[in-house]
């Protein structure tokens, strides 16, 4: 989940007391069990299955899986209490960077485990940590992608082909609208869903080095993000009229039932859509943000990385489970279940629904999630949601700058 991890963007009043601890098949005392902490509720079942297999092969080792709501908050709180889980399965975002810089994570640099990973993803997590602390403090495991999910039957009915430029994309939206078909099913009641088109547009038009320049005082949202904001407002014109009344679950159901041509989501939505309608005929493509096809890249990032607390790194049983997870067979099993992509060399997602973005991975036409480099306390999703409601572009861009600086100066 999530592009980031999307659950981390959801707000709520769930306290630490509600932390969900899900046992594997352990028969031992939980106090002696190795904890695997996950930020993704969607992956709970596949983790339980993998843990069960591991414990069967290693009966002397007990594993417990914890998947708490508000996982990012829980993890930061536990870090302040010097109580980090032994093994963490978390997103590749700013929080990971904070943990790595704090020196509480094991460095996998130069290990055989690191060598299994595609270099592009090693670089992505390295950029999150920054130059001040060199090392690979997490192993990219599963990756995700923002895409335009489309209904193939509706596409054929309208006589449309997959667009390769921004102008062609807008033309397909117009054709759908003219034929009384909702072009895009927005689910902006859940603010994080606005980050899907935002990241696609920003990554392909504001530059991959924006965060670095912003922190150096050499860039601003007001200067670089004006066209991003304009394109977001353009897309909003092609929604269903109640763009802020429905959330992610509503959108999955509606899109599965053929209520729109496009759905702007990540690969994680595919299993949820298929649960509603297993027969829906889906395809995906990278949003064409510019009018130069060769410049349009697929936004892909580290959805899951595996890391180990520095204190637990000497525990052979801990490393044994990490090595078990990093086996190609387990990596394949995980991405097949989650409809994700693998960060490991030689492990591929073969589901035909992803045919439209396969070449992006093969040819390296990839770029990372811009918001993974935004300060974690900035609450960008909420600011963007507010902008899309009020449509006050200049005020919004100025606020994005000020909120960034406010968090950085704490």
What is the rounded distance in angstroms from the CA atom of residue 160 to the CA atom of residue 168?
Answer: 10
pLDDT in tens, 336-359: 999 899 999 989 899 999 999 988
Question: Any idea what DSSP says for residue 218?
Answer: S
What local confidence, expressed as pLDDT, does residue 31 receive?
62
On the question of pLDDT at 19 being above 60, the answer is no
CA distances (Å), origin 50, targets 34, 39, 41, 322: 14, 16, 15, 11
pLDDT in tens, 28-46: 445 689 999 999 888 999 9
Q: Tell me the mean pLDDT in the region 290-304.
A: 94
Query: What's the pTM value of the predicted model, to 2 decimals?
Result: 0.80
Phi/psi for 252 (5° steps) reads: -60, -45
Average pLDDT along the chain: 90
For residue 227, the SS3 value is: helix
On the question of pLDDT at 4 being above 70, the answer is no
Helix residue spans in 188-315 (DSSP H): 195-205, 210-215, 221-224, 226-236, 248-256, 269-276
On the question of pLDDT at 177 being above 80, the answer is yes
On the question of pLDDT at 10 being above 70, the answer is no
- Asked whether the beta carbons of 253 and 132 are under 8 A apart, the reply is no
| 130 confidence band (pLDDT: 50, 70, 90) | confident
Beta carbons within 8 Å of 352's beta carbon, 6+ residues apart: none
Sorted by where each starts, the structural domains of the chain and their CATH numbers stand as 6-144+301-354 (3.40.190.10), 145-299+371-408 (3.40.190.10)
**Which helix (H) or strand (E) segment is 142 a member of?**
strand 139-151
- Asked whether the beta carbons of 84 and 76 are under 8 A apart, the reply is no
| 408 confidence band (pLDDT: 50, 70, 90) | confident
């Amino acid at each position: 989940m999530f592009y980031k991890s999307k659950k981390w963007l959801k707000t709520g009043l769930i306290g630490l007391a509600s932390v969900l601890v899900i046992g594997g098949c352990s028969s031992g005392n939980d106090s002696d069990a190795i904890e695997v902490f996950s930020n993704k509720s969607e992956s709970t079942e596949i983790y339980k299955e993998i843990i069960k297999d591991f414990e069967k092969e290693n009966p002397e080792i007990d594993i417990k899986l914890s998947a708490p709501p508000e996982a990012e908050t829980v993890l930061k709180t536990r870090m302040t209490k010097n109580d980090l889980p032994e093994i963490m399965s978390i997103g590749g975002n700013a929080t990971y960077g904070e943990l790595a810089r704090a020196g509480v994570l094991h460095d996998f640099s130069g290990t055989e485990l690191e060598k299994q990973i595609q270099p592009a993803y090693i670089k992505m997590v390295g950029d999150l940590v920054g130059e001040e602390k060199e090392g690979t403090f997490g192993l990219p495991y599963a990756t995700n992608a923002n895409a335009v999910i489309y209904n193939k039957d509706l596409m054929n009915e309208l006589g449309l082909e997959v667009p390769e430029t921004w102008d062609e994309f807008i033309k397909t939206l117009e054709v759908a609208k003219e034929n009384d078909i909702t072009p895009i099913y927005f689910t902006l009641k859940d603010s994080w869903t606005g980050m899907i088109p935002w990241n696609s547009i920003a990554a392909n038009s504001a530059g991959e080095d924006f965060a670095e320049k912003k922190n150096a005082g050499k860039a601003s949202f007001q200067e670089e993000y004006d066209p991003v904001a304009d394109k977001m407002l353009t897309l909003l014109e092609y929604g269903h009229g109640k763009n802020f009344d429905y959330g992610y679950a509503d959108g999955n159901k509606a899109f599965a039932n053929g209520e729109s041509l496009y759905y702007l989501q990540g690969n994680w939505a595919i299993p949820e859509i298929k649960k509603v309608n297993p027969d829906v005929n889906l395809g995906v493509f990278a949003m064409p943000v510019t009018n130069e096809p060769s410049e349009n890249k697929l936004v892909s990032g580290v959805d899951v990385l595996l890391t180990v607390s520095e204190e637990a790194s000497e525990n052979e049983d801990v490393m044994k489970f990490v090595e078990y997870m990093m086996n190609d067979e387990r990596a394949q099993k995980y991405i097949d279940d989650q409809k994700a992509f693998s960060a490991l060399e030689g492990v591929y997602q073969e589901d035909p629904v992803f045919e439209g973005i396969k070449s992006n991975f093969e040819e390296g036409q990839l770029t990372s999630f811009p918001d993974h480099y935004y300060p974690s306390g900035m609450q960008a999703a909420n600011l963007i949601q507010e902008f899309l409601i009020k449509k006050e572009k200049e005020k919004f861009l100025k606020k994005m700058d000020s909120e960034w600086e406010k968090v950085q100066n704490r």
